[in-house]
Amino acid sequence: MRTALLQSSGRPGSVVENLKVLDEAAGRAAAAGAGLLAAPEMFLTGYAIGDDIARLAEPADGDSADAVAEIASRHSLAIAYGYPERLGDAVFNSAQLISATGGRRANYRKTHLFGCFERDHFTPGEQPVVQAELDGLTVGLMICYDVEFPENVRAHALAGTDLLVVPTAQMHPFQFVAESMIPVRAFENQMYVAYVNRVGQEGEFEFVGLSTLAGPDGVARTRAGRGEELVFADADPVSLAASREANPYLHDRRPGLYGSLV
């Protein structure tokens, strides 16, 4: 499945403008043959927007989800995007997957919150593995800091995730995560990992870009630079099956030895 990564911070604070950016990117992605467009963490509203996070938060099935569904169905491609989700008094840092026909397929709430900023504004999620079937692939969702915990990604591997989509807001000086950790996560767990980042200065944060889609051989299939960019790579189930057959990591595990980890 051809996957498009939208590396952009959009227009922080404006859901309307960010939906326009998403629509334009979806048109370009569809024209290039993509079946999935992935946008960064908190793309719908912006990340470093302080108390506006709570003001702009919406239910998973709210008006903005309907707007994304309309974009997805009009361009006939699935869309994964980050947004602040409201459920009662709680606000979650969430990512949602919308199908190419506009159906809501999966919604994930970030389980590991990074730093005081996120802990002040969000409630942590409690479900580590969220998946949906898409064009013959099992697609999993995770958000930014979550992927830095090897247990999280291994849980996806054991649950059969083929393509792990990770909307992120990766900031300076942690660019080694995009450059080094993501290819390693893909290799050690025998999956594709699509890591799609924000870019540029936003409030106190400097987002580093470097969005990538890494394959199960640990090789980046595509890598963006430091500016706004739309990049493409393929997640091939045939190559994935061959790689899993050749790589013994999951087969050679000895989970009986790992009880001390929990």
Would you please indicate which residues are annotated as catalytic (active-site) residues?
41, 110, 144
245-252: long-range pairs with CB below 8 Å, 24+? 247/187, 247/190, 247/216, 249/188, 249/189, 249/190, 250/157, 250/158, 250/189, 250/190
Expressed in percent and rounded to 5, the helix, strand and coil fractions of the chain are 35, 30, 35
CA neighbours closer than 13 Å in the CB half-sphere of residue 86: 14
Residue count of the chain, please give it: 262
**Which one-letter amino acid corresponds to residue 1?**
M
Q: Are 13 and 46 in contact (CB under 8 A)?
A: yes
The Cα–Cα gap between 40 and 27 comes to 17
The Cα–Cα gap between 245 and 164 comes to 19
The Cα–Cα gap between 196 and 216 comes to 17
